[in-house]
Structure 1
Amino acid sequence: MIRPSLAELPPDGPALRTEEDRCFWKALVELVGRGNPNQGDLAAFAGVSQGYVSKILAGKQSPKSAVRRRFAEFFDLSYEEMIALGHKQLESQDYVPEGPLSRRYHVRESRYGGESGRQAGLGGEATALQALLRDIRTREAQQLQYTEVPLREATGSMGGGSTETGDRTLTYLSFRTEWIRSKGNPEYMTVIRAFGDSMEPTIPDGSVVLVDEGRRQFVKNKIYYLRYNGQMYIKRLVDRDGHLCVASDNDPNLLLVADADDFEIIGRCIWTAKELD
């Protein structure tokens, strides 16, 4: 099987536009070159044609995300591990391991009747590559302990309303992954700053508030980030005689939400240095 050079990338072209494209290509070429799997076996596993695999290895095609992840699975790697491997290889072109290597270094049999992949042992360079992947996994495991949530430019008023609705990310706040996943899907969560005193003592002026934009359904007496007649608020929503009302925690007056009002629940507020009931 003819494979691309491990020392250089092909000329720049539409197939390898981004750094992620180049990292994926580099990792795939490295893994295929080391293990020398049957291209038909690899193609069948990924659900593509053998000719398509050849074009990918030659740098003439860049597969979509789902296909890339199936290639990574073929080698028993996560896609993130594969990209990290390619990035490491690109950073150090002098490090070109030699010696046999196959899917996850021959820990399982072929699913499609190709080569079994079992070999007697690994060379020193292959062991070095394994060590590199272990280091990558260790760093990933540490990172997985925490999940970063974007702090948005947008603000929520706990008084007269805010017109700041920008979605630009100012920075990121880290939350323990186990905790934040117990509250919902972090991909739908953002953090905003809240100003005003109408929600004290529940939410003090100047607080940062974690908002789950995946929870937009009305639940009685919960606190929400919402738009009401052109203004952004952090308020409690209540039901009074079958009518939806906007309420403050330190003001008995209620704002009735009428059908003609511009009203939208952006997300439910779930934390501000403490969980919000």
Structure 2
Amino acid sequence: MTQRDEETKALGGFEGFFERAAKAAGLASQAELAALLGVHRSAVTQAKRKEAVPKAWVLTVSRRTGADPDWLEYGRRRSGAGRGDGRGSAADDGAAVAAEIFAAVPKVRARLSAGGGSFETGGEVERVYPFRQDWLRAKGQPSRMVLMDVVGNSMEPEIRHGDMVLIDQGQTAVVAHGVYAVGLEDTVLVKRVEKRPGQLVLLSDNRDYAPIVLAGDELDALRFIGRVLWVGREL
């Protein structure tokens, strides 16, 4: 391998790509890169370990930010590309501004049950949705946020069947009257959580559903996925 080939390989490695993608999209972490790409964070970890960046990732970041793909992958610009950040036109500048204002939040395949429990717990990312970064930061940790669909009516009228909820996986401490996504054995649920002496109680807004009271060893089966911050629905 020639010296030039070695230099090109280094420029095309993961660290160089991540540095340029972060500059183009306003990313602060590899988790945010995964959200932008619509992949699981483990895929980014593997790419970093192998020092290999899939071409599809380069093209995805290019489409979302307007950055030149050659610049993203190798740190060099095509002839006629006008700026050192890989963007060359007013239209591209507009895409860059949008990337700085908005963050891509992944929606995962797993669904939260507002009822007896959902076994659909896959963490695969289906797509990403843009949210204002300042709005997300005011509520929690944007890099730890995911979107999930809700099935069932146990949390009506606050949360309805078919709603999509925003969850901050960085918020797992119980806050009075807070709504949380929780895992209980092999199921995932959305419930209000109440602390009582020696107990945790999972409450439904729909009074047709009885509270789930956990105590003693039963508490070991409960895991907090994160706090529900926002509910969105289609009319």
Q: TM-score, length-normalised on structure 1?
A: 0.55
Partner of 2:217: 260
**Counterparts of 2:138 and 2:174 in 1: how far apart (Å)?**
20
Q: Give the Å deviation of 1:175.
A: 1.1
**Counterparts of 2:126 and 2:18 in 1: how far apart (Å)?**
28
Matched position secondary structure for 1:11: helix
The equivalent position to 1:10 in structure 2, one of 1, 4, 7, is: 4
Higher RCO by CA contacts (8 Å cutoff, separation 6 or greater): 2
- Aligned partners of 1:23 and 1:90 also within 8 Å: no
**Counterparts of 1:184 and 1:177 in 2: how far apart (Å)?**
11
**Counterparts of 2:171 and 2:108 in 1: how far apart (Å)?**
18
Q: Give the Å deviation of 1:202.
A: 0.4
1:244 aligns with 2:200: yes
The equivalent position to 1:151 in structure 2, one of 107, 115, 128, is: 107
Partner of 1:218: 174
Letter in structure 1 aligned against 2:231: T
5+ unaligned residues in a row in structure 1: which ranges?
Answer: 1-8, 26-79, 97-127
1:227 aligns with 2:183: yes
Alpha carbon RMSD of aligned pairs, Å?
3.6
Relative to 1, partners in 2 of residues 1:239 and 1:139: Cα closer, same or farther, differing over 3 Å? same
Superposition map of 1:1-277 within 5 A = 10-11=4-5, 15-16=10-11, 18=13, 21=16, 86-87=71-72, 90=76, 92=78, 94=79, 129=83, 139-240=95-196, 243-251=199-207, 253-261=210-218, 262-273=221-232
Relative to 1, partners in 2 of residues 1:255 and 1:139: Cα closer, same or farther, differing over 3 Å? same
Matched position secondary structure for 2:115: coil
- Aligned partners of 1:23 and 1:83 also within 8 Å: no
Q: Give the Å deviation of 1:90.
A: 3.9
**Counterparts of 2:83 and 2:230 in 1: how far apart (Å)?**
43
- Aligned partners of 2:184 and 2:223 also within 8 Å: yes
Q: TM-score, length-normalised on structure 2?
A: 0.64
5+ unaligned residues in a row in structure 2: which ranges?
Answer: 21-64
- Aligned partners of 1:24 and 1:83 also within 8 Å: no
Q: Give the Å deviation of 1:180.
A: 1.2
> How many residues are paired up?
180
Q: Give the Å deviation of 1:139.
A: 3.5
